[in-house]
Structure 1
């Protein structure tokens, strides 16, 4: 990072958030939205060989409030062409839907999920259920969730979590939309509850899978999909996943950042602020491909095809070839 710090002086707002006066004077031409700023850190300059779908991006998080357009531009340049914005409660689900609507005319394509996270299960009531049902009718919402069980921290009691989860399983059946599931230290109970509804559910993905082999096989036996994050890139706590990635069929595997959390530890240098973002998804794909023993482009193409089918994305949405007019970069559009 040292080689970049010398440039970050006399900063002013720009398409990529801030850039130094030296960088601004470097070239008289504007930055193209499908190319990288020459002064970005190396970690943010990696481009996927094939289009990617980030199935779990928390872009409604406050850390993205000041530079969302720059984040989307970097995602686009990295060939991350579709983002599924995670709705973990009513407020964030509504924000995700609004964000998707505001960016409906350009890549990266944005969609949303709508659900109540197990941490907030104690808030579940009939009014919230009605609000979720209404959100599930919105065309921007492509999945029910993030919902599930978290017996690790129990911010809501297990009983409250199971009540809210059961209700959202019913909403998923009612809407016909797939489930975006959260599970921590609750694999056995999660499988029991999903199994009871499985014949009526369309599809379900275990978001940010971090569990063991037996739990993985249990989910695969239920015909569930698996989402992998930068947890795999963490040698301190994710090393066990490296032995499991080859056991996940490619037509069940999807990739996600879960940004701004879970910054990958395989980056060439630390990023200032240590905030994760969709443009870093290619680093996760690289790590998964390495441990599966396949090419990155094969993994990228397979996970994108799987995500497109799972979320029932419009044909071609995730395969958009980025062709941006020079003028797009002048008015700040990604």
Structure 2
């Protein structure tokens, strides 16, 4: 009896370790996708990164975005060049997804939208996940494919649903940057005041979009910060982050500063202020992306770290938080 109980205990511990590893890998995959979303670039470049990162995170063989601005759909981004020239028409499966719900389709040969595709396409695509993508004013559809039938399940749907808001935010930021550049190019002397006002409004919109927040796992938020940090941007971050913490009842927040242009004492002071506000709501807040050189420089300047926990890499922070979750 004791041997049997011991074997059951060992099996249970093994299952718990496997579950913890799966949770960590999924959270790391979501965080890596989010970091790809936030890289600077044009609208088209951002869209291509979103398709590639989402497909990789979901384990899909290929991904594409179909724009339904006109009567027929056209592919505006694809990880598979063979799918770039395909033409599409809307049908029941696409309409369900465009209405706002990601849908997993187990057998594409049974869908009217896919039956119109040539055999060479259906041979490579057995199942798909269709999801709505907010890509500006156009109604766009994000499609992930896999050769196997019934590959996508509820876990994939949940994962993609969590990435969609961050993807829409990244696309809105890229479009705002392009419009800002065009506004600067079109500015004339007699219109300069009007254009400057427009530019300031667009800058404000970009600041609000510059720090995406993603729930990488249940009640764990990740915030990648790129560029530079000042008082105004810190205020936007604090306002949006506290609202997200309250809405998700987050138990932990990871602020990843790997993408900052530089980490100076005043920037760290701003992050400490954000961390203190998060803790007042009952959530833990850790800082990731602090390397040895930055740590030595900040120590030389006599920065008071307080009780904030720091990690060198985002993966280390997620591993620690998910391990703590497993022990509860």
Tell whether the structures are fold-level matches, with TM greater than 0.5. no
TM-score bracket for this pair, using the shorter chain length: 0.3 to 0.5
Could you tell me the TM-score, scaled by structure 1's length? Answer: 0.34
Q: Identify the structure with the greater strand proportion.
A: 2
Name the one with the larger helix percent: 2
Q: Which structure would you say has the larger Rg?
A: 2
